Structure 1
Amino acid sequence: MSPEDNKTNYRGRLAPSPTGYLHLGHARTFWTAQERAEAQGGTLVLRNEDLDPGRSKPEFVAAMLEDMHWFGLRWQEGPDAGGPFGPYNQGERKSVYLEAWRKLLAGGFIYPCKCSRKDIQQALHAPHQGEDEPVYPGTCRPTAGAKTDEVVTPAGVHWRFRVPVGEIISFTDGCFGSQKFVAGEDFGDFVVWRNDDVPAYQLAVVADDAAMQITEVVRGADLLSSTARQLLLYRALGFQPPAFYHCPLLTDEKGVRLAKRNDALSLRALRARGLKPEQIRANW
């Protein structure tokens, strides 16, 4: 039997952002994604999530590919491999995101917002915690049924998704089991398009995962609450959501989760110290 005969409809993805060097946490999550794809005889897609022009750097793209290959990661579709669902660089996929934005606008799911992050923090009288969005206080939220002025471009203001306040968003995670989040409490109206004319993470990944026919999303546990937001987007856009598998986060010796600023634990630094990928994986 040929490898083609063993293939299934499973499609997983690796989705790094070139905003720094990949660290051990990325490596373990990506390795898990690869193992799950291989176990299903499926396809693994590499998507370069270079949306943020202020933070994404070409040198990090080159380092990312080099480090991932060194670690033993292999994908069947991607920026360097091609495939039927390209381009595989998010910076080249704006038309896909605009189509999703127009669909949300036509359905009345989003509204323009002029609030800055500072405005929101001041309105909440609380500091912003971590990298997640604070619950939006509803400053610019129009009343139910109000019509948004006709617009042809999302540029110039933030666009927020109006969440169904009080609705319980539930799903079963492949690693952490049953998950429940309450819209309006655990998260509020979230940004889908930024005022600098860049689609936000939540919208971009949903549009891309749907377009690339991803059947399971494997990523870090810090994105569990993002899944609840994204399920609302899948529903609003009429897309079938994938399955989700969130990996436990790696932490440093102080118990703090790894970030790209942990240069000493980057794959690049570990390789420079003479470690082999097999040695690194053996510690897991």
Structure 2
Amino acid sequence: MIGTPYRGRLAPSPTGLLHLGHARTFLIAAERAGGGTLILRNDDLDTQRSRPEFAQAMLEDLAWLGIRWTEGPQPDGTEPGNFGPYAQSLRGSLYTAAFQQLSEAGFLYPCICSRKDLLSAPHAPHAEDEDEPLYPGTCRERNPESDEPSAWRFRVTDGEEVSFYDALLGPQTFIAGRDFGDFVVMRRDGVPSYQLACVADDAVMQITEVVRGRDLLRSTARQILLLRALGHSIPAYAHVELMRNERGERLAKRDAARSLRYLRESGLTPQEVRKMAIEEIE
């Protein structure tokens, strides 16, 4: 993508209030966008936890923090840009088309395994791991009954190296079948996975660099495989160090005392909060 105008994105999920860790990532994303285009996308596919009030709060809190984006929903209700709608819950046809393309090309297979099944299997990840368990391939060669509810998995090539250069963390290499296995692209309830939706949106929105937390490094390896399978260009990547609490645990949306809304209502200025978000990594 050398010579291509910069297009970055912020992609928060409205499942709670944004916290200092989000502020760190989004401030770095905005800084890296520089004079290029910065998009805000509402990643609201988690219909059980996403709330309209959290979506509005994230717009208001990011704007209060001093972050400006040029495409996507604005706090005043407008939505400039040519790639809308910018809420994933309204972009289902795009994900269906990507799913069908992968299916017709033979990359997918149905899987009836539950998350409970996978967590009880050998080599299941620790609770601290960022995503789905390493899949043991149980359903790879299974012939499912037509009436069985199934998720759909992307079949990886065991032993394949997926390498990329991270602008913040340096060279990264992951091995399919060791660091991650066959992964879900469509849940059994018909909701596309984070991996599929993210890839489809980033490709259509012409994102040139993805900036997000380092807990998503393995997701990046998976998404590179999806991008290749769909015939899309691979963006650049920059993964930000996570912010942790005094116990060494990464911040979560349940940490209300560190939410931007709480800090804002406590009387802190945007400048003070920006300093809190970035001072530990300078």
TM-score (norm 2): 0.91
**Cα deviation, residue 282, structure 1:** 2.5
Q: Check conservation: 2:162, 2:173, Cα contact below 8 A.
A: yes
- Work out whether 1:264 is the aligned partner of 2:262: no
Of the candidates 159, 167, 171, which is equivalent to residue 178 of structure 1?
171
**Cα deviation, residue 47, structure 1:** 0.1
- Work out whether 1:27 is the aligned partner of 2:23: yes
- Work out whether 1:237 is the aligned partner of 2:259: no
Q: Distance in 1 between matches of 2:233 and 2:94?
A: 17
Amino acid at match of 2:27: W
- Work out whether 1:70 is the aligned partner of 2:64: yes
SS at match of 2:153: strand
Q: Distance in 2 between matches of 1:227 and 1:139?
A: 24
SS at match of 1:140: coil
Q: Distance in 2 between matches of 1:42 and 1:112?
A: 41
Q: Distance in 2 between matches of 1:45 and 1:36?
A: 13
Structure 2 vs 1, CA of residues 232 and 18 (structure 1 numbering), >3 Å: closer, same or farther?
same
Which stretches in structure 1 are left out of the alignment for 5+ residues?
Answer: 1-6
Aligned ranges for residues 112-131 of structure 1 at < 5 Å? 112-124=110-122, 126=124, 128-130=126-128, 131=130
Q: Check conservation: 2:186, 2:192, Cα contact below 8 A.
A: yes
**Cα deviation, residue 256, structure 1:** 1.0
Ranges of 4+ aligned residues in structure 1 off by more than 4 Å: 125-128, 148-151
Q: Distance in 2 between matches of 1:127 and 1:84?
A: 40
**Cα deviation, residue 150, structure 1:** 10
Q: Distance in 1 between matches of 2:28 and 2:186?
A: 30
Q: Distance in 2 between matches of 1:275 and 1:126?
A: 42
- After superposition, what is the alpha-carbon deviation per residue over 1:162-190, rounded to whole angstroms, capped at 9, x for unaligned? 01100111110000000010000000001
**Cα deviation, residue 125, structure 1:** 6.9
Q: Distance in 2 between matches of 1:115 and 1:213?
A: 34
SS at match of 1:124: coil
- After superposition, what is the alpha-carbon deviation per residue over 1:87-133, rounded to whole angstroms, capped at 9, x for unaligned? 10000000000000000001100111011001112232746523411
Which stretches in structure 2 are left out of the alignment for 5+ residues?
Answer: none
Aligned ranges for residues 17-166 of structure 1 at < 5 Å? 17-38=13-34, 41-80=35-74, 81-124=79-122, 126=124, 128-130=126-128, 131-142=130-141, 156-166=149-159
Q: CA RMSD in A?
A: 2.1
Q: Distance in 2 between matches of 1:99 and 1:44?
A: 25
Amino acid at match of 2:195: Q
Amino acid at match of 2:93: S
Q: Distance in 2 between matches of 1:197 and 1:56?
A: 17
Structure 2 vs 1, CA of residues 233 and 149 (structure 1 numbering), >3 Å: closer, same or farther?
farther
TM-score (norm 1): 0.90
Partner residue in 2 for 1:9: 5
Q: Distance in 1 between matches of 2:118 and 2:256?
A: 32
**Cα deviation, residue 59, structure 1:** 1.0
Aligned residues: 270
**Cα deviation, residue 161, structure 1:** 0.5
Q: Distance in 2 between matches of 1:127 and 1:97?
A: 28
SS at match of 1:170: strand
Q: Distance in 1 between matches of 2:123 and 2:192?
A: 27
Aligned ranges for residues 204-223 of structure 1 at < 5 Å? 204-223=197-216
